[in-house]
Amino acid sequence: MSRLFALLRDWWLGRQGAGAGDDVGAPAFGRGRLGGVLPTLDLHGVGVREAIEQVEEFLRASRHLGVRRVRIVYGKGRHSRGGRGILREVVPRWLETEGARYVARWERRLDASGLDGGAEVVLRPASPQQREESET
């Protein structure tokens, strides 16, 4: 089991005991949030190859745990050469192509200036076979 999956699982199990009023529970993902909080992967400072590996692992682990909606923060690239980050282009492209097996739909999250620095992703449900495969 990967470190990221273990961290996400432990966070999820901790949220399970949070209390009935927290909108938390195995089937209670109608709004896609865990107690009002979206699981978030922050990729600031990560290189392209590692970012794609982390995104795939995060989506796989989230889906395995029954999470329906997540946030991926890739940044705007203000500190990158040219003022536009490479992850801002690569991550959305990956979600559309190789990531499509995990992703039902996604959208860029814009700030007040109209720039995106992340995406909100709705995950496809995992089949029982996929859940078993991710446990090995």
**pTM for this predicted structure:** 0.71
Which secondary-structure segment (H or E) carries 108? strand 103-110
What digits encode the pLDDT tens for the residues 17-63? 544 333 333 333 334 445 568 899 999 989 999 999 999 999 999 99
Bridge-based pairing state of the strands 69-73 and 116-123: antiparallel
**Cα 64 from Cα 60, distance rounded (Å):** 6
Domain range summary for the chain, segments of one domain joined by +: 3-135
Q: Pull the structure tokens for residue 57.
A: 């692992």
In CATH, the number for domain 3-135 is 3.30.1370.110
